[in-house]
């Protein structure tokens, strides 16, 4: 299957700082990437759909000014958590769509964010 | 009502047992269905797609019942390595490629 990388895998930051997470499709071009968040013992919750060359589409209840998404190339999408707070501590996972018309998604290994 | 519902379990079974997971979805217009496996503190990995005719991959069999809006996953001859959370996944609406995840069913296979 297709390979998606995510960096960093783990980050600890102080409250009020910003954190950038990168998601890369390594062996295919992804016009669409997705950002999810998963709290302990809960399901993945879609935060936003990232489209190459256009603005991201955010799910209801997700603050677009707090979670900045940039999808500047066909292989890279970034999520920046601005002014992070302890309640933003979570497992952030990106995925890339395998192709237009396909619902199969390939997931990155995730980023565990801890805000102290 | 949740869009995708699963019994969270946990299901505790001995090695070699057969175990079945069920999932229901709320949108009758859904077209694509998947089972993903997620190990603790790891990302989900695609286990298998679910087709209307049903499909089998080794010890794993998936079934879809569109009339009842019900998806199942059967695991035969359980192995210790099958211990994980199994996520039922259905496509979201529109052509955005969005997926809707169930809460997941936890399986623990014991020696």
Quick check: A32 and B91 CB within 8 A?
no
DSSP A9: S
Long-range contacts formed by A70-76: CB under 8 A, 24+ apart: A71/A33, A74/A25, A74/A29, A74/A30, A74/A31, A75/A24, A75/A25, A75/A26, A75/A29, A75/A30, A76/A22, A76/A23, A76/A24
Q: Which chain B residues touch A54 with a CB distance below 8 Å?
A: none
By the CB < 8 Å criterion, does B45 face chain A? yes
Q: What is the pLDDT of residue A1?
A: 62
For residues B91 and A11, give the distance between their C-alpha atoms in angstroms, rounded to a whole number. 31
Dihedral sign, CA of B63, B38, A44, A99? negative
Q: Which chain A residues touch B34 with a CB distance below 8 Å?
A: 103-104
Provide, rounded to the nearest whole percent, the portion of chain B with pLDDT above 90: 77
Q: What is the pLDDT of residue A64?
A: 93
Report whether A111 contacts A51 (CB < 8 A).
no
pLDDT tens profile B19-40: 999 999 999 988 899 999 999 9
């Amino acid at each position: 299957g297709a390979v998606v990388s995510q960096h960093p895998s783990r980050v600890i930051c102080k409250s009020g700082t910003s954190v950038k997470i990168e998601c890369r499709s390594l062996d295919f071009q992804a016009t669409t990437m997705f950002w999810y968040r998963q709290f302990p013992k809960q399901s993945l919750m879609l935060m936003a759909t990232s489209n190459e060359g256009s603005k991201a589409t955010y799910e209801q209840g997700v603050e677009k000014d707090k979670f900045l998404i940039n999808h500047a190339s066909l292989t890279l999408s970034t999520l920046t958590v601005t002014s992070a707070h302890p309640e933003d501590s979570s497992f952030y996972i990106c995925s890339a769509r395998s192709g237009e018309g396909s619902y199969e998604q390939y997931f990155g290994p995730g980023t565990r964010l801890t805000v102290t | 009502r949740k869009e995708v519902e699963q019994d969270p379990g946990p299901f505790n079974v001995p090695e070699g047992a057969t175990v079945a997971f069920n999932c229901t979805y709320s949108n009758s217009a859904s077209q694509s269905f998947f089972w993903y496996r997620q190990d603790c503190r790891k990302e989900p990995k695609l286990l298998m797609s679910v087709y209307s005719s049903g499909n089998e991959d080794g010890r794993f069999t998936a079934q879809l019942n569109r009339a009842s809006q019900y998806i199942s996953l059967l695991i035969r001859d359980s192995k210790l390595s099958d211990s994980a959370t199994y996520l039922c996944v259905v496509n979201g609406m529109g052509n955005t490629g969005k997926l809707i995840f169930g809460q997941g069913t936890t399986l623990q296979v014991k020696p």
